Chain A
C-alpha cells in the first residue's frame, strides 16, 4: 500500500495522510487471471526455477521488493532459489544477513511497516521458530492492532517439513502452526505452476504471507503452460486445485504429499477406486468450499500430511467437513500424518516416520470398503 502511496505522491513519504481503501482498490488484483484455453507448448520447469523466475519478475516489476536472508546473495541462495539475483539487482535488494533469524525478521517487518516489500528467506522453517514472535506478533497482528493503519506486505518463505536424513530439528512441518494464526496467509505450493503463481500472489499481497516450500520438490520438474510463464501470471490465494477428478474418495494433500496422493490414485485406479485428489495450495484461508463440494460428491475423505497428526492440517480439514457436510459422509475420515515422534535420522526409521504411498492407498481402501480394521487410536 505504501509503495503505491509513494509512487503517487512523490517523496512526501509518511507524513502524507492515509487514503486507505481508495488507494487499495487501484492495486492490480492478483486473482484476475481467468483460465483461457491456451495451446500450451508444455515447457518443463523445476520448482527451483519457477521460484527464481517469480522472484526475478516481481523484483523487476516493483522496486520496493527486496530479498533478505542468510546466504541469499553471494552464495546464490542456500538452495539456489535466489540464484543470479544479487548480480542483477545489487546488494541493496538482495541482502545477506548475520545469523539472527529474530534480527532479520524484525528488520524485515520494520521495513514492511515503512512501505518496502521484503521477501524473507529462512533456510528452513525450523529456524523460523527463532523469529516466530516477529512473524506472529509483529507481522500477523499489526494491521489489526493498528486499526488498519499499518499493513505488512511481507513474505516469509523457505523449505518446510522433512527433507531426507536431516534429523529432528530440520524436519518439522509448520503448516498447522502458522495456519492457526489470524492475520497470516499460509500457502503451500506443489508444482512449478503453483510455485510461480502463488509466490507472485504472495509478493503482491498487502498482508503477511507464510510461503511453505519443500526442499525435495525444488529439483522436480513439472510442465508449465504458456500462461504460467507470463510475468503477470498469478494464482488466487485461498483456492485449492483439483489435481485429479474422481468419484469414489477425496484425498486432500499439500506440498510433496500431493505427488504421493497422485501416485496412490493411480494404484487405486487399478483396484477400481476412482480417487479425487485435491491440492490444497492454501492452508489459510482454507478452501472449505472446494473440499466440501468434493466430499459431497465422493462421500469419503482421506487427509494426507507429513506433519504431526494432533492439531494438524488434516484435523482442520476433517472438522471442516464434519461441520459442513456431515450427512454426506459414508465413512469416518481417514487421517494420514507423520508419526508422533521427533524425526529420527536413520533412513529406515525416517521412512517409517512419514507417510508413504502405500499408507495413502490403504487409507483410501479403508475409507471405501472398511475391509481393513482401522489402526487403534490412543
Chain B
C-alpha cells in the first residue's frame, strides 16, 4: 500500500514538475532533498516585493527552476504576503485526494513543507554566488552583459577621480612616513569601489562610511585642501582638529563623520533610512564596511532590523580579503557576505569590486530598488586591500609580497577602467600624465599650506560637548586660560588663545 502511494505521488511530482508550478517535495528521494535545501540561497530575497527575476543572478542551468520555486517560497513567509499561498494550497488540494501525507505545517512565520528525513543544509556550498562584472580583465565589455550605459563625461570624471584618489593616498602616506602627519590609511586597490559607487548615488543620499571611503567624499566635492586640513588638524579643519587623520566628515556633503568604532555605522544608516522613510524623501542611505566589519554584532542587528522595518538603505560590503592581518578564511566560513543578506531577507548581489562599471550599475540599480520598493539592499564587492591596513601596519609580515604586487599591478581597478576608456577614445597617455602631474602639484601645495596654518583655538576644546556649554565647562575653560597666562612656559606656543 505504502509503495503504491509512493509511486503515485512520484508520478504526480514528475508531471507537475514539467509544468513548473509545483514545489519539489523533499522526501521523494534523497538527492532531491539535498538539492532543494541548497537552493534557498539562490532564491527569494524579501517578502516586501514580488520575487526578483533571479535569472540575472543565477549562474547556470541547474538552478533554472528557481524562478518557479520562488513563487512557492513566498508562501513560506505567510503573514503579510499571502498572494502566492493559494497556488501552493491548490497544488496541495490537488494532491490531497491522492496522497494525504503532503500537507503544510502552519507555524508562526508561515506555512512550511515538512520532510521526514533529517537532512541538514550543507555548511559549504558547491557553487558560490556568482559575481557580477561588466568588463573583463582587459577592460573589454563582456558579451551579453547587462549594465547601465554611462556618458564620456561621466566615465572620464570617474577615471580622473580614481587617479586623484590614488595619487592623494600615495602622497599622504609618504607625508606620514616623513613625520608630517601622525597617521594615514590608504584606499589602494579600492578606488573603483569608492568612485563608482559615489557616482551612482545622488548627493542627498546620506553616506555612513567606515574609513576606507574618502573617494566618496572626493567625488562629492571635498577638496584636496579639505583633506589636508583634516589630516593636519589645523584651524581650517572641518572637524576643528577633534579627530585623528582620515576621520573626515562633512554635513554639507551628506557624509557622516568617520568614527573609529568598527561597524557602528551600519545600524546608524538604518536609523537614518528610517528617518528618510518617515519623511518620504527620494533618497536612501548608504553604509560601507569591510569583511571584518561584517562580523560585528551591529551588522547582524542592522540587517535584521532593516528588513523588518523596510527602510531604504544600501549595505555596501568591501570584501577585500583582509581585516588587518586576519584573512577572510579566519573571518568567516559562509560564502562571503552576500549570503548573509538572504539569511536576513535582504536582496543581495555580489559584484567584481575592481570593475568600475559593474559597481556603477549595481549601485544604480540598488538605489532604485531601495527607494522605490523601500527595501534594504546588500552589495558585496570582492576586491583586494592592495595597501597595508594603515600606516601602523606592515602587511608583508603576514602575507606574501608577490600577492600584494599582483593586485597592485595587473589586477588594479584603474588599469582595467583606463583600458576601457582608452578603447573608446576618451583618454590618452598625455591626458594621464597631465592629470597626475596636476594632482601631485595641487597636493604638495595643499600639504604645505595645511602645515603652515594655525592649530584650532583653545575654545574648541570646550565647545560642542553640549549644544550650550555647561557651567563646569565654562569654569574649566576660564581656569585653563588663567593657568596658561600664569605659566606660559609650560604650554605650547602655537595654540591660539
**Whole-angstrom distance between the alpha carbons of A134 and B247 in the complex?**
18
B278 in contact (CB, < 8 A): yes
**When the two chains form their complex, are residues B276 and A133 in contact, meaning their CB atoms are under 8 A apart?**
no
B residues less than 8 Å from A345 (CB atoms): none
Please count how many residues in chain A sit with their CB below 8 Å of the partner chain's CB atoms.
Answer: 56
Is there an interface contact between B254 and A15, defined as CB atoms closer than 8 Å? Answer: yes
Complex alpha-carbon distance, A107 and B269, angstroms? 7
> In the bound complex, how far is the Cα of B167 from the Cα of A157, in angstroms?
48
A145-B242, A146-B251 are contacts. A138–B259 as well, Cβ < 8 Å?
yes
| B204 and A14 form a contact (CB under 8 A) | yes
A189, CB-defined interface residue at 8 Å: no
CA distance A189 to B279 in the complex (A): 33
Chain B residues 247 to 300 lying within 8 A of chain A, measured CB to CB, are: 247, 249-252, 254, 256-257, 259, 261, 264, 266-276, 278-279, 281, 283, 285, 297-298, 300
Residues of A within 8 Å of B256, CB to CB, are 113, 146, 150
Question: Contact at B275–A116, with CB atoms within 8 Å?
Answer: yes
Within 8 A of A (CB), among B191-238: 203-204, 206, 208, 237-238
Whether a CB of chain B sits under 8 angstroms from the CB of A37 is no
Cβ contact within 8 Å between A112 and B271:
yes
A-B contact count (CB 8 A): 171
The minimal Cβ–Cβ distance linking A287 to chain B, given in whole angstroms, is 9
Interface string of A1-45 (1 = CB under 8 A from B): 100001000010111011000001000000000000000000000
**B residues near A182, Cβ cutoff 8 Å:** 465
> Which residues of A sit under 8 angstroms from B273, Cβ to Cβ?
110
A103 interfacial contact with B, CB 8 Å: yes
Chain A residues within 8 Å of B254, by CB: 14-15
Contact of A146 among B239, B276, B309 (CB under 8 A): B239
Decide if A14 touches B301 in the complex (CB within 8 Å). Answer: no
Which chain B positions have C-beta within 8 A of A97? 305
A264 in contact (CB, < 8 A)? no
Taking a contact as CB atoms under 8 Å apart, the answer to whether A207 and B464 are in contact is no
Q: In the complex, what residues of A have CB within 8 A of residue B349's CB? A: none
Instruction: Give the contacting residue for A145; candidates B257, B271, B278, B466; CB below 8 A.
Output: B257
Report the contact-size class of chain B (Cβ under 8 Å from the partner): 35 or more
Q: For residue A236, give the distance in angstroms from its CB to the closest CB of chain B.
A: 12
How many Å lie between the Cα of A50 and that of B464 in the bound state?
32
Which one, A24, A134, A147, A286, contacts B264 given CB within 8 A? Answer: A134
Q: Is the CB of B271 within 8 A of A146?
A: no
What residues of chain B lie closer than 8 Å to A286, measured between beta carbons? 472
Which residues in window 291-319 of B have CB below 8 A to A? 297-298, 300-302, 304-305, 308-309
Q: A100-B297, A102-B297, A145-B239 are in contact. Are A151 and B467 (CB under 8 A)?
A: yes
**A95 — nearest CB in chain B belongs to which residue?**
B309
Query: Are the CB atoms of A285 and B467 closer together than 8 Å?
Result: no
Residues of A within 8 A of B269 (CB): 110
A residues within 8 A CB of B467? Answer: 1, 24, 143, 151, 205-207
B240 at the interface (CB under 8 A from A): yes
> Is B252 a contact of A17 with CB atoms below 8 Å?
yes
Are A114 and B204 in contact, CB atoms less than 8 angstroms apart? no
Say whether B252 contacts A114, CB under 8 Å. Answer: no
- Measured between beta carbons, the chain B residues less than 8 angstroms from A111 are 271-272, 274-275
Q: Which residues of chain B are near A151, meaning CB under 8 Å? A: 467
Quick one: closest B residue to A288, CB to CB?
A: B472
Would you list which residues of chain A between 72 and 118 have a CB under 8 Å from chain B?
92, 95, 97-98, 100, 102-116, 118
CB pair B204–A149 under 8 Å, yes or no, is: no
Contact, CB under 8 Å: B271 / A114: yes
Interface residues, chain B, with chain A CB atoms under 8 Å away:
203-204, 206, 208, 237-240, 242-243, 247, 249-252, 254, 256-257, 259, 261, 264, 266-276, 278-279, 281, 283, 285, 297-298, 300-302, 304-305, 308-309, 460, 463-467, 470-472
| 4 tightest Cβ-Cβ pairs between the two chains A and B | A103-B301, A110-B271, A106-B267, A110-B268
Chain A residues with CB under 8 Å of chain B are 1, 6, 11, 13-15, 17-18, 24, 66, 92, 95, 97-98, 100, 102-116, 118, 133-134, 137-138, 142-151, 182-183, 185, 205-207, 238, 285-286, 288-289
A-B contact pairs, 5 of them (CB 8 A): A92-B278, A97-B305, A142-B257, A148-B464, A185-B466
Supply 19 further A-B pairs (C-beta < 8 A) apart from A137-B264, A148-B463, A205-B467.
Answer: A13-B279, A13-B281, A13-B283, A15-B254, A24-B467, A102-B267, A107-B270, A110-B272, A111-B274, A114-B275, A118-B271, A137-B261, A144-B242, A145-B259, A146-B249, A150-B256, A182-B465, A285-B471, A288-B471
